[in-house]
Chains A and B, each alone.
Chain A
Amino acid sequence: MSNTGVTGLDRVSQSGWRTGLSNLMGPAFGAWWRTSQWWVQALLWTLVINGSLAVVIWGDAPDELDLFTLYGIMTMFAAIAVAIIMQEEIVGEKRSGTAAWVLSKPVSRPAFLTAKLVPNAVGVVATMIAIPSAVLLVHVMLAGIDVSIPRFAVGASVAALNLLFYLTLTLMLGTLFDSAGPVIAIPLAFAFGQQLLGSLPDLLALLPWSLIVPIGGEDASVAGAIIAGDPVPSYVAIVTTAVACVVFTVVAYWQWNRTEL
């Protein structure tokens, strides 16, 4: 392959689905970690989660079950923020023409989508779950509440899975639609619509809602029960949510490969 006119520069040698990936990953991670985005989100969710739970921790004698279930519920607001953050990731680039510009370079379509999925997933989980949860753990320990760090980590991971559900759903919708309306409306409608299924606990037990909100007269959500060391109402929602994340991701890659720009 010739490279007329540019001497002394080494050619990039990526091929296959990774073509262009490393060059895309840098700016995509940079959008989280080299801007104010990471500390604004981390500070916001640290304050939201710890502020809400401080009432329980420092108010009446804490009931651990309620405390950790409330922790899960508070992460639901982060899930909504994820949908808002992600809504323009694909649609915005399709509409502005930057997706077509980037894909006119030697970039594979899976690489383009991976550079949306991975940096955002890392950014969201780190700033909306990991950092606020680490602070909460210290907060809880300072209050003298006994908590198992491994169980807390697993519970936080379940809350993170709920966030990833909305992240992959929004990503998939971005590949399916050309305007931001349905991309934001569908995740929000789904998030709030689950509340209306209270009379169908068997169905609700399959949905990500049950990961972080108690259902069917239970005292604890899946995440809350795991952290508190209580019997977990059902593990099914963990499986269905994880499977949904995979399905959404596969559909997103499939659709993006056939999208015309």
Chain B
Amino acid sequence: MERTDHGMTRDEPIVRTENLTKAYDDVDVVGHLDLAVPRHSIFGFLGPNGAGKTTTMKMLLGLIRPTSGSGTIFGLDIERDSADIRSRVGYLPQDPKFYEHMTARETLRFSAGFFFTGQKNRIEDRVSEMLELVGLSDKGDRPVKTFSGGEMQRLGIAQAQIHAPELLILDEPAAALDPLGRRDVLSILEQFRTTSTVFYSTHILDDVQRVSDTVCILNHGEIVAQGPIATILDRETEASYSVEVQGDVKRARATLLAQPWVEGVTVDGGGDSAALVIEVSDTDAADSQIQRVLLADDSLVVREFRRNKASLEDVFVNLVQEERGDV
């Protein structure tokens, strides 16, 4: 088994927490968090506002002390070995702010100075490379106080990546960006997959579904789901099918309800054409038999048939509402 540092194997999570808790005035903001971020994953950390995402990230970086529990990054303790951890992590704060009197280039040079020494021309090359990466090459000599929110976000990603860290912790990296900017940032994150692990928080669920392979959904400081996206979608989605039929819709509905693996049929539309949503208990039976059952009736025409797949947004909303007791 190949081992990296501190006795970790490549298969072990790069970030792991056990019962990590932060409480203010005896109220848990983050409660008993057992987080596991796989190496080389793009890990989406989801949750509504106030769920505890930023607090968790700050605990991992040693900016906030846990009330109880523990955590490791690269096998190093997040409290005891914080400086060592931070030398290998890049962090983008939510709503990033940098020293206003510095230009973008100076900000990156300043960031690089915490990691590298000597060989100024090589540091300058690295600074230019990062400006290029985030599309700020032509704005490198502008003071950051003149930057828009989107430009600050891009600069934030550049300073986080300046030392090619093994782990990037990004707090809402795409929050202040327009759709094109978001697309660019997601594309940058995907580039990091081969060299780094990206642990990022967001509430833009489309983005997560597009680039992440693993997610953790947090609500009221507690994990409500964690794992590969495909697994969560499968586990949390009730199996259903959509069928658009033409003909005697009532008879079609009755025929379907007569099948033992059909749990319910809702009809949208009327007359001789409608969309049916069929909830089933056995997807194997449904896959093989729905169309057969319907087409056995010569008067029916099946115009469209598909298995419904929940989006991450559906799953997220369901899980958060379940937690609240809304469902």
Is B99's CB under 8 angstroms from A98's CB?
A: yes
Query: Most chain-B CB neighbours within 10 Å: which of A19, A27, A105, A108?
Result: A105
A104-B93 contact in complex given A6-B126, A12-B117, C-beta closer than 8 Å:
yes
* Cβ contact within 8 Å between A260 and B63: yes
Q: Which residues of B contact A (CB under 8 A)?
A: 5, 58, 61-65, 83-84, 86-89, 91, 93, 95-99, 101-102, 110-111, 113-119, 122-123, 126, 163-164, 166, 195-196
Q: How far is the CA of A131 from the CA of B62 in the complex (A)?
A: 42
Do B61 and A104 have beta carbons less than 8 Å apart?
Answer: yes
A contact residues, total (Cβ < 8 Å) = 33
- Find the residue from B83, B84, B87, B196 having the highest chain A CB count within 10 A: B83
B129 to A: closest C-beta gap in Å: 9
Q: Bound state CA distance, A98 and B58, in angstroms?
A: 14
Residues of B within 8 A of A20 (CB): 114
Q: Can you list, as one digit per residue, whether each of A21-32 has a CB less than 8 Å from chain B (1) or not (0)?
A: 001001100010
Does A9 sit within 8 A of B, measured CB to CB?
yes
Residue from A3, A13, A101, A103 within 8 A of B163 (CB atoms): A3
B116 in contact with A97 (CB, 8 Å): no
The yes or no answer to A106 lying at the interface (CB within 8 A) is yes
Residues of A within 8 A of B (CB): 1-6, 8-13, 15, 19-20, 23, 26-27, 31, 96-98, 100-101, 103-108, 258, 260-261
Task: Please name all residues of chain A whose beta carbon is closer than 8 Å to the beta carbon of B88 when the two chains form the complex.
Answer: 1
Report if A97-B166 is in contact (Cβ < 8 Å); known contacts: A27-B110, A260-B64, A261-B64: no
Contacts A103-B63, A104-B61 given; 8 further ones with Cβ under 8 A? Answer: A3-B164, A4-B196, A6-B164, A9-B116, A12-B113, A12-B116, A106-B115, A258-B65
Is the Cβ of B63 less than 8 Å from the Cβ of A4?
Answer: no
| Contact status B122-A8, CB under 8 Å | yes
In the complex, chain A residues whose CB is within 8 Å of the CB of B114: 12, 20, 23, 105-107
Interface centre among A11, A13, A260 (most CB of B within 10 A): A260
Chosen A-B contacts, 12 in total, with CB atoms closer than 8 Å, are: A1-B88, A2-B166, A10-B118, A12-B115, A13-B117, A19-B83, A101-B93, A101-B96, A103-B63, A104-B63, A105-B114, A108-B83
Taking a contact as CB atoms under 8 Å apart, the answer to whether B163 and A6 are in contact is yes
**Given A105-B86, A106-B86, A27 and B166 touching (CB < 8 A)?**
no
Q: Taking the nearest CB of chain B, how far is it from the CB of A211, in angstroms? A: 35
Tell me which residues across on chain B come within 8 A of A2, comparing CB atoms.
Answer: 5, 166
List A contacts of B64 (CB < 8 A). 260-261
A8 near B119: Cβ-Cβ < 8 Å: yes
